[in-house]
Amino acid sequence: MSPKGILCVLALVTILPLVLSYDFFITEGIRNYKFRYSAENVYKFNVTEIDGKISSMNQYKNKTLIILNLPFSLEARRIYVLGLLFLKHYNKGLRIIGFPTDELTPGSHADDKYNSPVFMRNYIRENQIKFQFYDKP
């Protein structure tokens, strides 16, 4: 066996118990945690679109749904990739919805320019974002 192969085996043997115990801890934690929201009741929520219109999450029932918290300060090219994914799999039932957040932007505040509905509408239009955005819940 080559030195690289021996090193890989040693690394695997050394780290495997850690990975397995961590996975067990996470699995047990999830099993014992009572989720407040589930796939069964997320469809009962009403959400507000960027333009102020109220929509039901029930429209996404029986679809593959990706829910994102996105800062509008994020570079447009990162959101563009999600748009490509959305367009590629839309006919197969994929839906992506986004909610604005300022928690991912260091030093931002609720009154930031990025959180105004006007800024969000312009950002979505200018960057040709195809998936649906909603206002903060």
Sign for the CA dihedral angle at 17, 19, 24, 25 comes to: positive
- On whether the pTM is more than 0.85, the answer is no
pLDDT given for residue 37 in this prediction: 53
Average pLDDT over residues 61-84: 77
Q: Retrieve residue 31's tokens.
A: 């099993």
Percentage of the chain modeled with pLDDT above 90: 7
Residue 27 has pLDDT above 60, yes or no: no
Digit-coded pLDDT (tens) for 113-130: 666 677 777 877 777 777
Digit-coded pLDDT (tens) for 37-56: 555 678 888 998 888 899 99
Beta carbons within 8 Å of 108's beta carbon, 6+ residues apart: 71, 73, 102, 114, 115
pLDDT, the chain, mean? 69
Q: How far apart are CA 86 and CA 97, in angstroms?
A: 10
